[in-house]
Structure 1
């Protein structure tokens, strides 16, 4: 458990958890941006969104990320995978069915430390993986959550007016073959894995989302929040 004296990067005593079900990435992106504005104006509180995306490759803001797209436009069309540019941090990644995507829309006004927020987001996923019997961690110089050189969760965030959006994508049971169409996150010295592959057993998506919500609250809570406008 975290040190009870630690100042949380996001106090979430009134966190709302919502599930959008399966969405197109571009639609979810627009909905996030609208919620960022609502959060800034104090119309909504901190919110953790869960969704699964229809198959899509998204490119972040990292320089030369485009070069890590391997498949041709024809191959993408044949596989039914969209290609979308995003304003999140990071390189190129894949989203698709069987992957839990988490989008926290939370205010960092009380503690403007994006690095601390990222570490706490990673900790949320690490604790969730431990709950399911997987010992994961960070990898020096790399983003996301790993089992040695196997990446199980991608993380890419953005902040506007100190309100967070974008977030993490945890591989529960996606089609891992779809990752071969890209160099995932620009990684050339590792592979991509999933909970199902590592556990060699089916994994309940709803159980994973429920545990992520529990761990998010436990990592970020501890101190009551201020309800003033952001």
Structure 2
């Protein structure tokens, strides 16, 4: 791998590691403590209806699965790269493993749903190449799209799909959170990095020059 690609691969990994932050003290981020008899469908609709949105408002709900401390990932990275732990008292915060997005009618939004690389490293104890991670995430999304196909108007199928995801990934609902978004297209955009595609384009640039194909905002 040429030096430019190594730099970009490292930059891409840093961008991935910035994803999935969650502030458990944020009052807008709710627990699933009110869940009754695994009826996710009714719980989500109840919280959505409380918002009393206008008809054209693009609201929805995001569900954060498997919240964990980022320190777990830091420890794995230190072991992987032979880094000495710091004596400083640093709090790295919390991450979630993956986020599922639904519109206000509980239609599954495949393009917005994503798996965090932090969770990948935590689960597989290794840092993936970008191509490897993209394949993993694509398969993850495809499986979810199949799981939640035609569940928006069927509470039984919806609840079964949610329960399947908890079981498949070994997640307890105590480590899950939900958030009602007034505009699902613009809110919580900081959760997923939008620079990664630009960095991938820079890797494919064949003129041998290191170019930044995006503008920081």
What is the TM-score normalised by the length of structure 1? 0.24
What is the TM-score normalised by the length of structure 2? 0.25
Q: Which has the higher contact order (CA 8 A, sep 6+)?
A: 2
